[in-house]
Amino acid sequence: MAAEAKTAPLPPILLPRFWRLVGKTVALKWKYRANPEKTYGAYLDEYYNTANTQNDVAYYGDAWHEVRSLVVSEAGLDRGDTVLDVATGRGYQAAAFAQRGYPTVGMDLVHSRARESRSQQDDEALQWASGSATDLPFKDNAFDAVTISLALHAMPPRERLAALRELRRVAAKRVVILEPRAWDWWPAKPFYAAMGHVMDESLFFFRFAMNDLDRRFSGIGLRLLRLRRCYVGDILAIYVCEPM
């Protein structure tokens, strides 16, 4: 008997649950609109405890699972290289590196997310820590590679620059960054930035999307080796850098 064909799951954007999450996100962003630079930490804590909850994760899984292995491949690491995954969230990117055999530490500012990472990702090559991307608790050049995925755009500009400096300080060989990136055609940039500002959890998405991240690299001692666009519609970019 022929195997029964499996029905492909619908994209999240076509599901009512997705739009409920967008609605909760918009309401929460409105609550914190007055002074986002000072309250973004509290906003993120509330977002991950009331809007993007564990039930949403169980329903969707990792929304960016298609690009996790691509980030690992693009990093171009050697066997045995150590990895620090900053702002690891629920540990998906850290687990992708560990599954390829790289000793990896996943670190997140939101303590509840770091705890969830430990419970969800079981791999001997993985360790977990809590801490801020703007003040990493590690020595200079402590890891061969430092990665951060989909977190810089959620930070205020000052903290974002501080985090980039810390990534560069702790990395001996590579800094690998996965972030949203607006399309290069200038008339499309405002549309991309406006749509992302509504649908993404970041309080700073519009300003982030209107200014290409790689413009900051040379000023903090990073050399961009390659940029790889990815995901549906090329809405994300992988930046592979080396310390100068």
Domain membership of residue 176 (yes or no) is: yes
- The whole-number pLDDT of residue 111 equals 52
DSSP H/E element including 240: strand 236-243
**Single pTM value for the model:** 0.84
Which residues fall within 8 angstroms of residue 216, CB to CB, at 6 or more apart? 161, 164
Bridge partners, 104 (sequence order) = 83, 126
Nearest Cα neighbor of 153 from 192, 180, 115 is: 180
Domain containing residue 153: 64-243
Which residues fall within 8 angstroms of residue 197, CB to CB, at 6 or more apart? 205, 206, 209
Q: Tell me, yes or no, whether 31 and 131 share the same domain.
A: no
Q: Tell me, yes or no, whether 50 and 78 share the same domain.
A: no
Distance (Å, whole) CA 117 – CA 86: 13
Q: Tell me, yes or no, whether 115 and 207 share the same domain.
A: yes
Q: Tell me, yes or no, whether 99 and 200 share the same domain.
A: yes
β-strand pairing of 222-230 with 236-243: antiparallel
- The whole-number pLDDT of residue 4 equals 45
User: Mean pLDDT, 10 residues at a time, over the chain (244 residues)?
Assistant: 47 69 84 84 78 51 78 95 93 92 89 52 76 95 97 94 98 97 93 91 93 94 97 92 96
Give me the number of domains the chain comprises: 2
